[in-house]
């Protein structure tokens, strides 16, 4: 059959279709199957070229392959609570060793900075304030989690554990700053650090209002503050303190080390984040000291209240003792006791008991025991 005649008679579209059909008859090899979609643990995946996001949401393996073909591009893969199978596949694609994969699967890490084999791991703690109508001895005030940032030459992987610290707003904000995002994966690390520190400051502002309410209740006239409520708030502040304070060392290392860290263009941005972190640390330290003072004041108030109660009990016991003494003496009924045959002995004994009790009551009242 003459293909050129068919092209002339049927037109270019039919010619291309016939060529494809004849090609499949000659070479029956099937076309490569499309790569499956990203797993559910993938929150977002994108390729950035010169600080701007490429259209679409490709599979992370395809995105990484595309980023390696352009020196000015990188891929940002965001994961949330990935499973072992997903994290193992991600590790094989991006060259993460087995230890890094195991670290990404666990939560509750302490903020740290690790650099090995050309890959940097930055761990941060997330924090969010839990709204509550009133403070109880079981109230959850602060919810914490963690986010792990893996930084390579052409990729950045963020692995988040827990409900707190969502990074969708971080991605939206940094995408509006292509000049910063053009600096590569470290720009994402800066954006994540800045967002976490901003959350610390927001949570500390909510904590300040809780402390003000506790302080008012402790020093109010009715003193309605429960010591267990103060202990619960103290535990939440300690948890928050453990999430924030250890981040100082990794950020200081990033701003001071000459190589292996962020590019020079991002150095001042990390310095600004470190300054805001210092503000958050100072606030939390002040709140912790204030809470210790409130706790000690409440304990002192409880001791004073207990002392006052003991004095009242002792005063009433003394008043009751006089009545018991008189009644006990005249209740012995000896044959030769004086005044037993006195006509007005019984009213006189009652009068003596009343006068003794009234006198002691006035004395204790004047001294502040009652």
Q: What is the pLDDT along the chain (370 residues), one digit of tens a residue?
A: 444 443 433 444 444 434 443 344 333 434 334 466 777 788 999 999 999 999 988 999 999 999 888 888 999 999 999 999 999 999 999 999 899 899 888 888 889 999 888 899 999 999 888 887 777 777 788 888 899 999 998 999 999 988 766 788 899 999 999 999 999 999 999 999 999 999 999 999 988 888 888 878 777 766 666 777 788 888 888 889 999 999 999 999 988 876 778 888 899 999 999 999 999 999 999 888 888 888 887 777 777 777 777 888 888 888 788 878 877 777 776 666 666 666 777 777 788 788 888 888 888 788 777 7
Task: Give 332: exposed, middle or buried? Use CB within 10 Å, 0-12, 13-18, 19+.
Answer: exposed
If one counts every other C-beta atom within 10 angstroms of the C-beta of residue 358, the result is 11
Block residue for tokens 């009644």: 327
Q: Is the dihedral of CA 190, 59, 62, 16 positive or negative?
A: negative
59-68 LR contacts (CB < 8 Å, sep 24+) = 59/35, 60/90, 60/93, 61/35, 61/93, 62/35, 64/93, 64/94, 64/154, 64/155, 67/154, 67/155, 68/154
Do 183 and 261 touch, CB atoms closer than 8 A? no
pTM beyond 0.85: no
- SS3 of 246, please? helix
For the chain, domains (ranges, CATH) are: 1-31 (no CATH), 42-303 (3.30.460.20), 305-367 (1.20.58)
Q: Which 8-state DSSP code applies to residue 122?
A: E
Taking alpha carbons only, the member of 134, 138, 140 closest to residue 210 is 134
Do 357 and 319 touch, CB atoms closer than 8 A? yes
């Amino acid at each position: 059959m003459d293909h050129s005649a068919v092209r002339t008679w049927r037109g270019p579209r039919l010619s291309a279709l016939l060529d494809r059909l004849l090609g499949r008859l000659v070479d029956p090899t099937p076309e490569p199957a499309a790569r499956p979609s990203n797993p559910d643990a993938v929150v977002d995946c994108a390729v950035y070229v010169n600080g701007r996001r490429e259209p679409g949401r490709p599979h992370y393996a395809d995105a990484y392959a595309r980023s390696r073909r352009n020196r000015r591009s990188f891929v940002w893969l965001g994961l949330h609570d990935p499973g072992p199978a997903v994290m193992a596949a991600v590790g094989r694609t991006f060259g993460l060793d087995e230890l890094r994969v195991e670290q990404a699967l666990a939560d509750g890490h302490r903020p740290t900075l690790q650099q090995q084999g050309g890959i940097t791991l930055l761990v941060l703690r997330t924090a969010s304030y839990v709204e509550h109508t009133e403070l109880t001895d079981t109230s959850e005030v602060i919810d914490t989690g963690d986010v792990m940032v893996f930084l390579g030459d052409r990729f950045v992987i963020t692995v988040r554990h827990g409900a707190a610290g969502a990074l969708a707003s971080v991605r939206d904000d940094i995408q509006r700053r292509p000049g910063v995002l053009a600096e590569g994966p470290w720009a994402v690390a800066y954006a994540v650090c800045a967002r976490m520190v901003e959350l610390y400051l927001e949570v500390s502002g909510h904590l300040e209002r809780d402390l003000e309410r506790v302080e008012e209740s402790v020093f109010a006239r009715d003193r309605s503050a429960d010591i267990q409520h103060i202990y619960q708030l103290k535990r939440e502040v300690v948890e928050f303190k453990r999430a924030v304070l250890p981040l100082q060392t990794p950020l200081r290392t990033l701003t001071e080390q000459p190589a292996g860290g962020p590019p020079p263009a991002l150095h001042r941005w990390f310095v600004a984040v470190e300054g805001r972190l210092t503000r958050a640390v100072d606030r939390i330290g002040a709140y912790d000291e204030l809470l210790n003072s409130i706790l000690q004041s409440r304990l002192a108030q409880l001791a004073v209240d207990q002392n006052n109660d003991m004095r009242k009990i002792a005063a009433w016991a003394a008043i009751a003792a006089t009545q018991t003494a008189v009644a006990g003496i005249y209740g012995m009924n000896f044959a030769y006791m004086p005044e037993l045959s006195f006509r007005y002995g019984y009213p006189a004994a009652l009068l003596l008991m009343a006068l003794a009790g009234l006198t002691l009551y006035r004395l204790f009242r004047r001294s502040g025991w009652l």
